[in-house]
A = this chain, B = another copy of it.
Amino acid sequence: MTQVALFGAGRIGQIHACNLAALPGVQLRYICDPLAPGAEALAHKLGARRVAVEEALGDPAIAAVVIASPTTTHCDLILRAAEAGKHIFCEKPVDLSVARAEACATAVVRAGVACMIGFQRRFDPTFSALHMRLRNGEIGVPEVLNITSRDPAPPPVKYLKQSGGMFRDMLIHDFDVFRWLLCDEGRDEAVWLSATGACLTNPAIAQAGDIDTTLVSIRTRSGRLCQINASRRAAYGYDQRFEVLGSKGLLLAGNLRPTEVLAMDAAGVRTDNPEAFFLERYREAYRFEMAYFFKQLQAARNGGDGSLRTSIHDGVAAQRLADAAALSFASGQPVTFAAPEGR
């Protein structure tokens, strides 16, 4: 039994908690959250105890921690968990500062613990099937990636103010998808990035110094091209699609929908909108990423390959691209990467 402590019992923490509870060979022992009103009830329901972080990290029986607390706490918790020799699953982003994120990566490497970042999209059945088919050469060499990434509605302006901005808060996932699909396990990399954007949904977002709509173009060293379009608002729901054009064809990941009912009447043919938002859309992905993390820990314990699909280095690399996009948008100029990014 791998004993686990969970930090954070908010929306995403609760999802991880339930997924942990259903994992064979894993026991959720502690839930640490000084604030969340439901933390106590959650712990009770799942047979865990609510304790302070110190106690959890101080218990030598705890082998791994899951960090699902606010972004501002990630860095501190990663450093402390690494120091305590615990394996780490941490929600994205590592930290809004690339420098601090790099410090985390260094600490993790030095401590020799595993550290996986919660880029859950890499575990979505549709996305991972596409990735596998791409790797199997089904469409030859990948050349162009188009990512559509739209939230149903913007979050409260108060949230936006401490979010790090649209590129760091929302596009961080898309930058990771770009690296996953187009950068060939690190053999290729971004060399040119250009971003533009606007505030179109709510003037208060502009007043807070942010935008809600953006386009990003990226070129890699080998000439592969990636185009991201993202918006904080889509009246029809959560829109998460991408397409990879390769030398021999195209692979496209479409939206999921709640049901397969099709209706026809005098007004036309209608099907369901996409799943409402990320908790619904990536429900399976959250389940699979957690199972994968513990499977890899087990593999490493057994002397096998315990490498992680989304390491802390992936977290740092995505953060660098987000910084570059923010800079490009602010300056109106492209950013070029002199040295290899992401390594």
Contact = CB atoms under 8 A, between A and B. Distances in A.
Contact of A229 (B130, B225, B256, B267): B225
Contact of A260 (B219, B236, B255, B336): B255
Interface string A313-343: 0000000000000000000111010000000
- Indicate the size class of the contact surface on chain A: 35 or more
A126 B267 CA distance: 17
B265 A139 contact: yes
A261 interface: yes
A273 B264 contact: yes
Interface in A201-234: 201, 213-215, 217, 219, 223-225, 227, 229, 231, 233-234
Contacts of A139: 235, 263, 265
A334 B194 contact: yes
B252 A138 contact: no
Contacts of A70: none
Interface string A162-204: 0000000000000000000000000000001010111111000
Contacts of A245: 150, 231, 234
A263 B269 contact: no
A250 B225 contact: no
Given A231-B245, A266-B248, A259 B125 contact: yes
A250 B264 CA distance: 5
A325 to B, nearest CB: 12
* Nearest 3 pairs of A and B residues by beta carbon: A249-B265, A198-B223, A236-B264
28 contacts: A125-B259, A129-B258, A129-B261, A150-B245, A198-B219, A198-B224, A199-B223, A201-B247, A214-B225, A227-B227, A233-B247, A235-B250, A236-B250, A236-B265, A236-B266, A236-B269, A249-B263, A250-B264, A251-B263, A252-B263, A254-B262, A266-B273, A268-B270, A268-B271, A268-B273, A269-B273, A270-B270, A332-B336
Given A250-B263, A252-B264, A253-B262, 16 more contacts: A126-B260, A146-B229, A192-B196, A192-B332, A196-B225, A197-B219, A231-B245, A235-B249, A248-B265, A249-B266, A252-B261, A254-B260, A266-B273, A269-B271, A270-B270, A334-B334
